[in-house]
Amino acid sequence: MAPRALDGSADWPTIQVDLGDRSYDIEIGDGVLDTIGQRVAELFPHSRAVIVTDDNVGALYGNRVRASLEGSGIEHATVCVAAGEPSKSFSTLEDVVTQVLDAGMERGDVLLALGGGVIGDLAGFAAGIIRRGIKFIQVPTSLLAQVDSSVGGKTGINTAQGKNLVGLFNQPQLVLADTSVLDTLTDREMRAGYAEVAKYGLIDRPEFFTWLEDNFEAVLAGGSARAQAVATSCQAKANVVKADELEQGSRALLNLGHTFGHSLEAAVSYDSQRLVHGEGVAIGMVLAHEFSARMNHCGPEAAERLVAHLEKVGLPTRIQDIPGQDFTVKQLMTAIAQDKKVERGALTFILTRGIGESFVAKDVPDSAVREFLELKLTH
Amino acid sequence: MAPRALDGSADWPTIQVDLGDRSYDIEIGDGVLDTIGQRVAELFPHSRAVIVTDDNVGALYGNRVRASLEGSGIEHATVCVAAGEPSKSFSTLEDVVTQVLDAGMERGDVLLALGGGVIGDLAGFAAGIIRRGIKFIQVPTSLLAQVDSSVGGKTGINTAQGKNLVGLFNQPQLVLADTSVLDTLTDREMRAGYAEVAKYGLIDRPEFFTWLEDNFEAVLAGGSARAQAVATSCQAKANVVKADELEQGSRALLNLGHTFGHSLEAAVSYDSQRLVHGEGVAIGMVLAHEFSARMNHCGPEAAERLVAHLEKVGLPTRIQDIPGQDFTVKQLMTAIAQDKKVERGALTFILTRGIGESFVAKDVPDSAVREFLELKLTH
């Protein structure tokens, strides 16, 4: 079954991530989940498959994926981990690797990462190290994963020192983003993913940001506007990744809002009751725009316009929106300094000259960041 | 200080591993260890260095490496693990990664893998996943590591399912093989490494095997014959790796003797009192030649010549040479089936048509292997 046409006129286009011999497709649309058996059989004839998922997503979609595999005569096994960020750990990685090996998977077999960002990062990492690399397909089931973490090959786990400090660049061989599965997300998860959608407008697509201002309700509601937003986001990310796969330079633009956002996530000890990743990104993007204004790269109106939009969406925009007020400047600065985007002690930030005009700023003085955060924490 | 000339006539040549943008040099000779600070400063200006070593090698050579780094003004830290194969584990990997992150190493910094094969495999894997990849230099201190494991980018750890089932292809940026440090190896370690040297003759260099038959005592004793054997081995491996970096085909030739050898190592539960890797390879190479004769690929004289040479060297040549006789065919076959060189259930073996005429044999019937092992275990 091909992905269903979204507007009645044509099949939804497939987006290509163009990386030479590591190129792959992203297929987006309602129902692509049920094509997985057929796609595995086409891409990897005679291979077996292991589904890596979490207990929430596995319960919702595991049977559909297994039915599709069986329909194409593909032997399969399932490895299930606990849902949530704590599974991005060395111990869960070891569990997954061990179970995949116990299932007898060989180098030509394929791992299906069925879940949100946690599963994509964890299982993509596992796929890269099992027998020094087995095939893998990302099957993202959250908005965040569909528009961000499943595309571009970054995989990894967290350690006590910070998020994603251990991992690999490991490109999947296919991404299947079924937009209909987003219907089972909570409003909070949907909004959190939306922060990453808005990010692509802020990076370099001002017309997409304007479109989102007009259409965000339809995007959150589902149907063709949502699929269009996912496709535009994936295309934007694919372009950035193509230009700089291994993050030597311009790929850092994708971190807009993430340095501040990660520091807030670290400050709440990754307690998702208080803050989920996309919410941290939302606040972080506002901080990046405000800090850009303070550094005279743009006027205050960019941040004001961003705040107005994110508030309409229902996303937090200020540090004070996070429940519990125990943040200190020192704590945030420590997390920022440990962030992997630090180079030789100088701070690298993604700043902006206005909506859709972001740029990589190296050698940002940490004193300027500290003063800015002092201001934000006392307001 | 440049590597010292080995024969008085010229500097010992540097061997290049030609892998496009992942190419690197292997520098071989007495004293190259003391050039490490200079080489790090040339290759990675302004970087810091973290030495990963084990308690034996660190005690012997840690100070020399640190002195060389300090001589070039390079900040450094040291991470030390327990010597021995059990350190190729998930838990030691996590320890190393955590300590390197705690030392504040960033993406542009360099990891120095100072030790034998265990350290090279473990630390090379760690270097590949810390911040999704930091720089690394192999500084092999055993003969086995100098001629085999430090070259070609295979890194990894062991799991309950077998050896090296988890890891990466991660090429170093430089290999520094100081042949003078081999003087501190035990006779047993030296002989075990010699098995891998002889392997290159058996794969496709019959003239090198003949040279070894005439010169093995000088190779084991040290000086220019040893350095020549290391250089020839590294060149042989570099050629094979260049032809097939990711082991899609011909690289498997490097596994000559290893499928049988690994099964013996697994059968003694990697107890190095009973069997070290090179000894397993020695017996495995004999078995591969005998099995080739049984499969009518060559006459019995190839195995006889190999046995005669390995016996002179003082290496074991028969399963019966391993202390303790508790092997079963079932046990060995299970280990062989789990070996990562299995493809879609068919057994892949490196067989030979004679000394220096090895080839990759796919679809070897497991019944033939089983019958052969039954014969070997009852003789």
pLDDT digits (tens, 9 = 90+) for B274-309: 999 999 999 999 999 999 999 999 999 999 999 999
Chain B hits for A156, CB-CB cut-off 8 Å, are: 129, 132
Smallest CA–CA distance, residue A289 to chain B, in Å, is 27
Which member of A161, A168, A247 has the closest CB to residue B129? Answer: A168
Mark B113-152 as b/e (b = at least 16 C-beta within 10 Å).
bbbbbbbbbbbbbbbbbbbbbbbbbbbbbbbbbbbbbbbb
Query: Which residue ranges make up each domain of chain B?
Result: 14-184, 187-378
Answer yes or no: do B106 and A343 touch at CB < 8 A.
yes
Other beta carbons less than 10 A from residue A332's beta carbon? 22
Mutate to test the interface with B, among A132, A157, A262 (most CBs of B within 10 A): A132
Cα separation, A192 vs A220, in Å, equals 11
Answer yes or no: do B132 and A169 touch at CB < 8 A.
yes
Residue A2, pLDDT score: 38
- Topology adopted by domain A14-184: Rossmann fold (3.40.50)
- For the cut 70, the answer to whether the pLDDT of residue A373 exceeds it is yes
Smallest CA–CA distance, residue A73 to chain B, in Å, is 15
Residue A9, pLDDT score: 37
Cα separation, B274 vs B19, in Å, equals 38
Chain A hits for B131, CB-CB cut-off 8 Å, are: 165-166, 340
DSSP β-bridge partners for residue B115: B140
Q: Which band of pLDDT confidence, cut at 50, 70 and 90, is reported for residue B3?
A: very low
- For the cut 50, the answer to whether the pLDDT of residue A7 exceeds it is no
- For the cut 70, the answer to whether the pLDDT of residue B155 exceeds it is yes
Residues of B noted as catalytic: 132, 154, 196, 237, 247, 251, 255, 258, 262, 277
Q: Which band of pLDDT confidence, cut at 50, 70 and 90, is reported for residue B248?
A: confident
Answer yes or no: do A161 and B101 touch at CB < 8 A.
yes
Please identify among residues 325-364 of chain A the ones whose CB lies closer than 8 Å to any CB of chain B. Answer: 340, 342-344
Residue B337, pLDDT score: 82
Spatial contact of B53 and B64, defined as CB atoms under 8 Å apart: no
Which member of B97, B160, B246 has the closest CB to residue A159? Answer: B97
Residue B342, pLDDT score: 57
Complex prediction ipTM: 0.90
Closest to B112 (Cα-Cα) out of B2, B36, B171, B35: B36
Q: Which two tokens stand for residue A228?
A: 């269009």
B166 contacts chain A (CB < 8 A): yes
pTM, to two decimals: 0.90
Which member of A106, A168, A343 has the closest CB to residue B342? Answer: A106
Is position A374 annotated as part of the catalytic site? no
Q: What is the pLDDT of residues A173-227, one digit of tens each?
A: 999 999 999 999 999 999 999 999 999 999 999 999 999 999 999 999 988 899 9
Q: What is the pLDDT of residues A122-154, one digit of tens each?
A: 999 999 999 999 999 999 999 999 999 999 999
Q: Which band of pLDDT confidence, cut at 50, 70 and 90, is reported for residue B271?
A: confident
Q: What is the pLDDT of residues B64-108, one digit of tens each?
A: 999 999 999 999 999 999 999 899 999 999 999 999 999 999 989
Is position A258 annotated as part of the catalytic site? yes
CATH numeric code, B187-378: 1.20.1090.10
